[in-house]
Amino acid sequence: MEGITSGLTGIALGVAVLLWGRNVPLFAAAAGFLAGFSLAQRVIPGELATALIVAVVAALIGLVLVALARSGTRLVLQIMGAVAGAGIALGLVQWLGSASGPMAWGIAFIGALIGFGLMARFFDLGIILLTSLLGASLIVNGWGSFMALPSGVSTVITLGLAAIGFFYQHRR
């Protein structure tokens, strides 16, 4: 039952972020959710209920940070970009199964730097790109709760969904 709940939550949040990612509180919540879920699965493997609780708490922290940062919203969004970048990188590492331990954390750090840099330099384009990747990652991660996808297939689906989300949001 926990797998179904986390899968449906991930898919629903992913679709919302993929389509309406420019909504700043939604972006912050989704970034926190994905990073929290990925982090919890790395630290405590096999504990799906704990990972879901950590993900919800991280999503709430993202919402609170955005709500409290009235004048420093840009900095908070750059931090959320870093969190999103780390979450996306950890998700890709998990799907590819290519790195673990310190190597996975190094890749997450690089993802965080890229996410922060995107939000700092190209704010509008960065939020569209990050939310498209974030939404696609959440959808594929949620779908993985129902049916295991080969790593190459999940990567192609993620990139395809991200492209659809990017063009949809860019036209809005």
* pLDDT tens for each residue of 121-135: 887 788 888 888 888
For residue 172 the two structure tokens come to: 């809005």
Residues 6+ apart with CB under 8 A from 57: 36
Domain count, the chain: 1
Q: Do residues 85 and 107 touch, judged by C-beta distance below 8 A? A: no
- CA dihedral sign of residues 84, 144, 107, 19: negative
Q: Do the Cβ atoms of 161 and 139 come closer than 8 Å?
A: yes
What span, in angstroms and rounded, lies between the C-alpha atoms of 22 and 13? 14
* pLDDT tens, residue by residue, 13-49: 888 888 887 777 887 888 888 788 877 877 777 777 7
Give the domain range for residue 24: 2-171
